[in-house]
Amino acid sequence: MPDERALSLVFPVGGLHEHLPFTRQPEGTCPDVQNMRPHDPGTGRSRGAQRPGLSRHINAQVNSTAAVQCLDRFVTYAAYSGANTLDTRTIKGIAVAGGTIKTFTSSFATPTNGSTALASAAPVIHSTSFYDDVYFADGTNTKFYDSSTDTVSAWPSTAGSHPGGGCRLIATYRNRIILSGLASDPQNFFASAVGLPGDFDYSPATITSEIAFAGNSGNAATIPDKITALCPIPQSDVMLFGCDHSIYQMTGDIAAGGKIDDLSTTIGMAYGKAFCFNPEGLCYFFGSRGGVYVVAANSTPTRLTGDKIDERLASVDLSDTLVTMAWDDRQQGACLFFTPLDGSASTNYFYDQRNDSWWKDVFADANHNPVSVHLFDGDTEGDRAILTGSQDGYIRKIDITATNDDASAISSYIYIGPLYFKGAANVLLKELQATLGVSSSDVTLEVFKGESAQAAFTATVPSFTDTIIAGRNWARHPRTRDETLFLKLSNSVASQAWAMEKIDVVLRGTGRRLQRTFG
């Protein structure tokens, strides 16, 4: 009797893995996948499912078709509004498109002096919230938004001299505003006095630990590399400086005995907001030479993509591609977005922290690629989401319930395999029985074959095709045979989403593999 073997194939939660030969695809990983997740967004269960889609946060553009250059939010507080509500805070978003500043909750409003207040040609504008105001760094202007008067005004100067509108990087750290990114002085940074965003007096008459300071004020503060990112670690006394080819850490305040140390002199950080933090304060970032790293305070960076998808990320052109990252609390992972400034299509990625795995994402429309991202932490479930400021002027959100990218279908698929029979020349897929989630949409199942694992994976014409439906399906008998097989599951229909439980297969070995002895 021919040898037979029954297998239960589960979803490869290890994600995309392209490091080893096709014949040695690590167990629990896959050679290609698109728009899938190892946890079902609808149930939270560890099973394969289509990723969440995008929905419009507001069904209107910020400023016509101008790209959304900046997203942020500010919070104000009020008394109880009733006996049955704890709604004591008001959270408003703030967006910039075409240089115009607008606030929003359910619709957009232009504050006084908000129209064309900032640089309309800047590809991206960075901001930071400070108390209930928002300050901007656009490389040209020195402006801030005052929420108490709903007015955009010139940055106040209460002492010393503001470092200038040429700054393009901004952050809040230890109750100070930190600025950097001057084209004429790129290795320098400037810290306002504690609690006083208009005070940049580095040598006041009275010296205290709360005075302003700058990176060129002494050896203790010097950073010898061009600063590309400002990264205050949440809930800590540490701020990271991402640089062109290095990373530095400021511990405490220079004005209060703090210090700056190097964490790496070989690994740099991509420009802008190409980083995010998980709830434990780990910093995930895209390196200046490609690859994604993770770093904690007082430690050296660790590469996360080196043995999985590193080659995919090596060719990113950082001169014309904007890289942004955001931590998704709901999906428990990091979103990595690549947005070509010419508006062309791109491939994005998601890092699943629970499985240490990578997942390829492609939006249905290149206009959906974000120029700006912001984790909006509202009170309601629908307002706790990652907002993306898109190239077509809309603000969208990663919507855990959405089955489309806006109104466009999500094209999702995964390859499972390779399937072969050890010791046999060929493998026959004798029987196949798939089980999908009970609410799953239909899925196209294809079987590809080849005389090697790579040949089977790259085959373009399936040897067997069928449609599988929700729940437990009846058994199929593909009777397809070759040295190696791959299964592909896919769906590209609008307003549909699917989830996989398992696929039971019966394999039969046919013929004996040629043996050769080398003497």
CATH of the domain at 441: 2.60.120
The answer to whether residues 165 and 237 belong to one domain is: yes
Question: Residue 236: inside a domain, yes or no?
Answer: yes
The answer to the question of residue 240 being in a domain is yes
Count: domains in the chain: 2
Domain end: 406, 433, 463, which one? 406
Question: DSSP code of 25?
Answer: P
Contact predicate 507/419, CB 8 Å: yes
For residues 57 and 46, state if they share a domain: no
Q: Specify whether 46 is located in the same domain as 57.
A: no
Q: Verify that 421 and 386 share a domain, yes or no.
A: no
How many H-runs (helices) and E-runs (strands) does the chain carry?
A: 2, 43
Domain that holds residue 224: 53-274+370-406
Q: Is residue 389 part of a domain?
A: yes
In a domain, 350, yes or no: no
Give the amino acid at 502: K
Intervals of the chain under pLDDT 70? 1-2, 78-89, 218-220, 378-383, 513-519
| 10 within domain boundaries | yes
Q: Contact 412/498 with Cβ under 8 angstroms? A: yes
Tell me: the pLDDT tens digits for 191-215?
Answer: 999 999 999 999 898 888 899 999 8
Q: Is the pTM of this model over 0.85?
A: yes
Task: Please name which of 456, 496, 501 lies closest in space to residue 480, comparing C-alpha atoms.
Answer: 456
Q: What gap in Å lies between CA 241 and CA 359, rounded to an integer?
A: 28
Q: How many CB atoms lie within 10 A of CB 161?
A: 10
Q: Does any domain span residue 79?
A: yes
In a shared domain, residues 157 and 262: yes
> 46 and 59 in one domain?
no
**What is the pLDDT at residue 514?**
47
Write down the pLDDT at residue 85. 62
Distance CA 210, CA 201 (A): 11
- pLDDT given for residue 518 in this prediction: 42
Residue finishing a domain among 385, 406, 427: 406
Give yes or no: residues 152 and 38 share one domain.
no
- In this predicted model, what pLDDT tens digit does every residue of 393-422 receive, in sequence order? 999 999 999 999 999 999 999 999 999 998
pLDDT of res. 423: 83
CA distance 485 to 419: 5
